Structure 1
Amino acid sequence: MINLFKVKAKQRETAENVNGKAPVKKQTAGELRLHKDISELNLPKSCTISFPNGKDDLMNFEVTIRPDEGYYIGGTFLFSFQVPSVYPHEPPKVKCKTKVYHPNIDLEGNVCLNILREDWKPVLNINTVIYGLFHLFTQPNYEDPLNHDAAAVLRDNPKMFESNVRRAMAGGYVGQTFFPRCIS
């Protein structure tokens, strides 16, 4: 009986491959939605998207942000995106791969952005997330911090915060923490 099922499956596969091409992998609803989101991206000039695993792996990609205003002007910040198969019902997992002195990004790269947590809704998309990340660099928010030290300095002494950001981006220490150069 088992062999009969294997034969049938093999016949079906052969019939599907008559055109000589590899069988087409069925896309999940999340992949279809992500494909739509990516095709409709309207990014600022200072943001780029890349697919380090190739175009066949749309669910994992990177976004580079180069702020053109604010404290972080001239820096280059790389974010990894892992999109769950149930997207858009769950937000993508986003990590900052560039070590940065920032009130809303901790030293492990975790990002504090409300639309990646409690305010996520399926109507939001990748474009919205990238604009949210871009906004963190133009308007860092000390009221919802992951890096409490950076948030306190931004709140209490913006000039010192600016100096710390410049030192970190140039490749140097802020307190006991070393930051690799990320400024061009």
Structure 2
Amino acid sequence: MLKIWSMKKEQEKAENAGEGTTAPAPKKKRVTAAQLRVQRDLAELSLGNTMTTEFPDPDNILSFILYIEPDEGMYKGGRFSFSFNVTPAFPHEPPKVLCREKIYHPNIDTEGKVCLNILREDWKPVLNLNAVIVGLQFLFLEPNASDPLNKEAADDLRNNRDGFKRNVRQAMAGGTVRGETYQRVLV
């Protein structure tokens, strides 16, 4: 919360600095509600040692990458990255989240779209980025075959859990599963 207030004070100071001078001070961009909320959400994140964030453009906190390295479950040993794009309508709209790797998962399709209820119909403005990140992490611990984007992976998980585990390992190693070639994500 302190960062938000100090950011606002700096903004006011910059606006007032131009008063009384002959040349107008350059206008500083106003901080949007979405930026303030994202800043607060990011300050409250507790990522632990299995996740990290990266900001390709340090001036744009509305677009960042989350890396997840599961330390348990079927996806243990992999490194997965998700692009987060937060719209100006945040928190009234959920962030847009895409998996950047092609992976074999019932809740992530081969184009990277993520099937997570809080990114769709169950989103509420009281939810924050931490809720989304925890949801993504949970998808690696407990893939959900009852709400799939990748129906073949969901069928494997439902009907042949051991076969599904083998397919996950093969896909994570950069192999081919059911005619689809996947990216190597093992670290």
TM-score, normalization: structure 2? 0.87
Moved over 4 A (4+): none
Q: CA deviation at 1:156?
A: 0.3
Identity within the alignment, %: 52
Pairwise CA distance, 1:175: 1.2
Partner in structure 2 of residue 73 of structure 1: 76
Task: Find the counterpart in structure 2 of residue 181 from structure 1.
Answer: 184
The residue identity in structure 2 corresponding to 1:117 is R
Residue 112 of structure 2: which of 106, 109, 114 is its match? 109
Deviation digits for residues 93-150 of structure 1 (CA, Å, limit 9, x no counterpart):
0000011000000000000000000000001000110010000000000000000000
Partner of 1:44: 48
Tell me the equivalent position of 1:4: none
1:35 and 2:53 correspond: no
For structure 2, the 5+ residue unaligned runs are: 1-14
Q: Over residues 46-87 of structure 1, what are the superposed CA-to-partner deviations in whole Å (9 max), with x where a residue is unaligned?
A: 011110112x10010000000011100000000000001010
Max Rg structure: 1
Q: What is the count of residue pairs matched by the alignment?
A: 172
In the alignment, the residues of structure 2 paired with residue 21 and residue 138 of structure 1 have an alpha-carbon distance, to the nearest angstrom, of 53
- 1:23: Cα distance to partner? 3.7
- 1:24 Cα deviation from its structure 2 partner: 2.5
Cα distance in 2, alignment partners of residues 169 and 178 from structure 1: 10
Given that residues 75 and 169 in structure 1 are in contact (C-alpha distance below 8 angstroms), is that contact kept between their aligned partners in structure 2?
A: yes
What is the distance in 2 between the residues matched to 1:61 and 1:104?
A: 21
Tell me, what secondary structure is at the counterpart of 2:163? helix
Tell me what 1:5 maps to.
none
d(CA) in 2 for partners of 1:122 and 1:179? 35
Name which of 80, 86, 91 aligns with 1:88: 91
Counterpart Cα distance in 2 of 1:22 and 1:70: 53
- The unaligned stretches of length 5 or more in structure 1 are 1-11
Could you tell me how far apart the structure 2 residues matched to 1:17 and 1:155 are?
71
| Preserved contact between residue 64 and residue 84 of structure 2 (Cα < 8 Å) | yes
How many Å separate the matches in 1 of 2:92 and 2:71?
Answer: 32
Return the alpha-carbon distance in structure 2 between the equivalents of residues 144 and 107 of structure 1.
16
Equivalent in the alignment of 2:65: 62
Instruction: Indicate the larger mover: 159-168 or 39-48.
Output: 39-48
Structure 1: distance between partners of 2:60 and 2:117: 26
Secondary structure of 2:98 counterpart: strand
RMSD (Å) for aligned C-alpha atoms: 2.2
Q: TM-score, with normalisation over the residues of structure 1?
A: 0.88
SS of the residue corresponding to residue 127 of structure 1 reads helix
Aligned-partner residue type, residue 71 of structure 1: M
Aligned residue number for residue 8 of structure 2:
none
Structure 1 CA distance for aligned equivalents of residues 96 and 70 of structure 2: 22
